[in-house]
Amino acid sequence: MNVSAADEFVATLNAWSRSGNDALLIRALRSPYSRVPHDTAAAYATLAERAGPLLDAIFASRLALPADERDVVLRFAERVKSLGEDSDIRALFEIAEPPRIKEDPAELRLGHAVDADTQTGVRARQGHFSASSLNAYADCARKWYYRYVCSAVEDPGSSASTYGTAFHAALEDFHGEYPHPEPQHEPAMRVRIVGDVNWAFERYRADFDTAVEVELHKRRAQRTAQRYIDWIVAESKRAPFTVFGREASTELDLAGFPFVGYIDRLDRDDATGAVSIFDYKTGSIATSAAEYIDDVRKFADFQLPFYYWARTAAGDRVTKLALIPLKDALLDVRPVALEVVPVATPQAKRSSSPTGTIGIADLERARSRMIEICRELTSGQRTSFPVASDPEACTFCAYKNSCRDRPLSEREKFGR
Ligand code: SF4
């Protein structure tokens, strides 16, 4: 932890105590100086961004956490609540003062080199896992190490991630009003979603860098939202459904490893009672069912398998898993949808169809691999975390500047 990060933490809390802006408090919570474990801070940040003031969520213990983590979060909340105009934030959070350098250069002497530390294994400090933490590990083990062990760099997010957060919030509000979309409601739904998108982007306005960005992203979301209505109207004609879960908090115990997550949307088919799980995607995703199944089989993506096992354990009969692409306003919303079947129908790897089948055996293999990874990460045996082999993985990585061994793209190699 460096001095500037501590200064930033203090400045953020000072700004929060003057303005009461929850976004600032969330930023402070995610700083290593809050002492709140990274995963827990991220989960509370997501909850607060979607459901209201952070302190209320913490004091109401809205997340089920192990006792020691709950105590740390409550301590953070009590400390910030006690902040007044003259509070010494460094003392309150027990942040050491930066060492003073003596002004007389003659007093500076070179010391003896210390012996290198003995290399020991690293153990995951996570109280619970998530599909996204395992996806990060599958993407790049070094990235997982930076994010979940070191918590060294705060990921400030980007306008693309704020676009995603705001769009998710708009759809959550929309389906609160329209849990049972019907074709005759189409005009009203089109009007309603315009209001939901506007309101969601107002709520997250402060997280964009500029007013122009807010406007451009909002316009893109408005166009995409109308395409989303096209799709749900067509779906409601084909097979009426009821949305019974929005940003549904989900927990699962896998061989003693606790997992948590949020499911964007859960539908029940009105005729059969079968459950479909939907994940909204505002970034780049697999463009075909074959591509997504390949990711699951390569253990590169655990999101939908995790949701499948979590909802199955909760008693649902899950028959469909789908990713809903919401990135491109120029394209129709065409989900990548997998029907869950006992044995998957063979599908050509190059097939561009957005629909396909996934076998229970594939989902079981994904579950076994999740358990294996958790064992690896908690064994304390791992002494190294290799970098990604594909430079693509580094494009938006928050740890790029600290990652000396990262693979270089052809352009970077040429530039050296
Ligand atoms: S910069 Fe690349 S190699 Fe380094 S941690 Fe990030 S993704 Fe991994």
Report how far ligand 1's centroid is from the alpha carbon of 149 (Å): 15
Residue 191 has pLDDT above 90, yes or no: yes
The pLDDT of residue 234: 96
Asked if residue 148 and residue 21 are part of one domain, the reply reads no
**Which is the closest atom of ligand 1 to the Cα of 400?**
1
Please state the length of the chain: 416
Average pLDDT over residues 390-414: 83
The pLDDT of residue 104: 63
Asked if residue 136 and residue 84 are part of one domain, the reply reads no
Residue 1 has pLDDT above 60, yes or no: no
Mean pLDDT of all residues belonging to the chain? 88
Report how far ligand 1's centroid is from the alpha carbon of 62 (Å): 33
Confidence label for 3 from pLDDT (cuts 50, 70 and 90):
low
In a domain, 306, yes or no: yes
The pLDDT of residue 230: 96
- CATH of residue 396's domain is 3.90.320
pLDDT digits (tens, 9 = 90+) for 199-257: 999 989 988 888 999 999 999 999 999 999 999 999 999 999 999 999 999 999 999 99
Asked if residue 360 and residue 265 are part of one domain, the reply reads yes
Asked if residue 251 and residue 345 are part of one domain, the reply reads yes
The pLDDT of residue 194: 96
Ligand 1-lining residues (CB < 6 angstroms): 140, 142-143, 146, 387-388, 393-394, 397, 399-400, 403, 406
Asked if residue 275 and residue 381 are part of one domain, the reply reads yes
Residue among 394, 408, 412 to mutate when testing ligand 1 (max atoms within 8 A of CB): 394
Kindly give, in sequence order, each residue whose CB lies less than 8 Å from that of residue 111, ignoring residues fewer than 6 positions away: none
Asked if residue 291 and residue 387 are part of one domain, the reply reads yes
Residue 2 has pLDDT above 60, yes or no: no
Report how far ligand 1's centroid is from the alpha carbon of 389 (Å): 9
User: What is the C-alpha radius of gyration for the chain, rounded to an integer number of angstroms?
Assistant: 23
In a domain, 191, yes or no: no
pLDDT digits (tens, 9 = 90+) for 114-166: 777 777 777 776 678 999 899 999 999 999 988 888 876 666 678 888 999 99
Confidence label for 409 from pLDDT (cuts 50, 70 and 90):
confident
Average pLDDT over residues 348-377: 91
Amino acid of residue 212: V
In a domain, 408, yes or no: no
Q: Encode the chain in three state secondary structure.
A: CCHHHHHHHHHHHHHHHHHCCHHHHHHHHCCHHHCCCHHHHHHHHHHHHHHCCHHHHHHCCCCCCCHHHHHHHHHHHHHHHCCCCCCCHHHHCCCCCCCCCCCCHHHCCCCCCCCCCCCCCECCCCCCECHHHHHHHHHCHHHHHHHHHHCCCCCCCCHHHHHHHHHHHHHHHHHHHCCCCCHHHHHHHHHHHHHHHHHHHHHCHHHCCCHHHHHHHHHHHHHHHHHHHHHHHHHHHHCCEEEEEEEEEEEEEECCEEEEEEEEEEEEECCCCCEEEEEEECCCCCCCHHHHHHHHHCCCCCHHHHHHHHHHHCCCCEEEEEEEECCCCCCCCCCEEEEEECCCCCCCCCCCCCEEEEEHHHHHHHHHHHHHHHHHHHCCCECCCCCCCCHHHHCCCCCHHHCCCCCCCHHHHHHC
- From atom 2 of ligand 1, which residue's Cα is the shortest distance away? 394
pLDDT digits (tens, 9 = 90+) for 54-70: 998 898 888 878 788 88
Amino acid of residue 190: R
Asked if residue 271 and residue 338 are part of one domain, the reply reads yes
Closest by CA to 16, choosing from 81, 90, 76, is: 81
Confidence label for 52 from pLDDT (cuts 50, 70 and 90):
confident
Closest by CA to 170, choosing from 233, 220, 132, is: 220
Q: Record the pTM.
A: 0.73
Asked if residue 387 and residue 269 are part of one domain, the reply reads yes
The pLDDT of residue 363: 96
In a domain, 339, yes or no: yes
Residue 280 has pLDDT above 70, yes or no: yes
Asked if residue 243 and residue 320 are part of one domain, the reply reads yes
In a domain, 136, yes or no: yes
Residue among 143, 384, 385 to mutate when testing ligand 1 (max atoms within 8 A of CB): 143
Average pLDDT over residues 368-374: 95
Asked if residue 390 and residue 317 are part of one domain, the reply reads yes
In a domain, 61, yes or no: yes
pLDDT digits (tens, 9 = 90+) for 13-39: 988 888 888 888 998 998 888 988 887
Asked if residue 359 and residue 309 are part of one domain, the reply reads yes
The pLDDT of residue 95: 85
In a domain, 347, yes or no: yes
Asked if residue 256 and residue 144 are part of one domain, the reply reads yes
More confident residue, 12 or 104: 12
Residue among 139, 155, 401, 406 to mutate when testing ligand 1 (max atoms within 8 A of CB): 406
The pLDDT of residue 154: 65
Count of structural domains, the chain: 2
44, 66, 92 — which closes off a domain?
A: 92
Residue among 400, 401, 409 to mutate when testing ligand 1 (max atoms within 8 A of CB): 400
In a domain, 111, yes or no: no
Residue 101 has pLDDT above 60, yes or no: no
Domain that holds residue 253: 131-156+239-402
Residue 102 has pLDDT above 70, yes or no: no
More confident residue, 321 or 87: 321
Report how far ligand 1's centroid is from the alpha carbon of 377 (Å): 18
